[in-house]
Amino acid sequence: MAAIEVFSRVEHKYMINNETYIKLREQLKEYMYEDGFSAEGGFYTICNIYYDTDTDELIRKSIEKPVYKEKLRLRSYGRAEHDTKVFLEIKKKYKGVVNKRRTVLKLDEAYEFASTYEQPAYEDYMNRQVMNELEYFMKHYKTVPKLFLAYDRAALFCKDNPELRITFDKNIRTRRENLRLDSDDTGEYLLDNDKWLMEIKVVNSYPLWLINILNENGLFRTSFSKYGTEYTNYIKKKMKKQEDILC
């Protein structure tokens, strides 16, 4: 997977079921191709650790749907080892436009950086400017690891427009303990088994053929945040436990 480190785009989300997923994969073949990790209907696993303040300031602000919001996460593709290349990234969203700024690090370097807020010795694979931004962000918010979140993804790229990409995420799972990327990817499932989260990622407007496919399948954009949904569920369960104790 290419290590694109700084980019801006619009991301639109759609919730679909198994039947629609199968139909879409067939319809999109004419216009899109599978990335190397999704060949012949395959998937790859993405693992993330989300960082926040002690009081969950970032995610609490995010679910209020402000004009501007930001997140910090550490990401690996599959289970990582201590010297695996991973991504530490800031994801910002302003008026619907997503901006990602990330750098490659080895897992041990990322763990140390995220815990001490002190940059590791510079290596050629790192993005120095993004490292500076990450350091400022972590020191400003005093971030700590909060959530492990993983999912299985299939990704498609447009044949005629490299800036158009569609992803399908399934088996979204989370946990609030063992927050490491060099461990297993198990967790509590966030959606029903027949649900998929489809995301259309594009810099400009949709091509006409994509609009027609979405209309044919009766698909409309939805607002859905993996981290935000987990946090909302987590707070509801926490409040329920407190109510049970009081009763």
> Structure tokens of 227?
């981290």
Residue type at position 22: I
Domain contains 22: yes
What is the structure's pLDDT at 80? 97
Look at the chain and report how many structural domains it folds into: 1
- Find the CATH number of the domain harbouring 156: 3.20.100.30
What is the structure's pLDDT at 2? 44
Domain contains 225: yes
Residue 149 has pLDDT above 80, yes or no: yes
Say if residues 189 and 171 touch (Cβ distance below 8 Å).
yes
What is the structure's pLDDT at 163? 92
Between the CA of residue 118 and those of 124, 154, 186, what are the distances in Å?
18, 35, 30
Domain contains 211: yes
Domain contains 1: no
pLDDT tens-digit profile of 156-208? 999 999 899 999 999 999 999 999 999 999 999 999 999 999 999 999 899 99
At residue 146 the predicted structure's pLDDT band, cuts being 50, 70 and 90, is: very high
pLDDT tens-digit profile of 202-233? 998 999 999 999 999 999 999 999 999 999 99
Determine the structural domain holding residue 188 and report its residue range. 6-246
Q: How far apart are CA 138 and CA 51, in angstroms?
A: 9
pLDDT tens-digit profile of 85-126? 999 999 999 988 999 999 999 999 999 999 999 999 999 999
Say if residues 71 and 101 touch (Cβ distance below 8 Å).
no
Mean pLDDT taken over the chain: 94
Say if residues 67 and 94 touch (Cβ distance below 8 Å).
yes
What is the structure's pLDDT at 79? 95
Say if residues 47 and 75 touch (Cβ distance below 8 Å).
yes
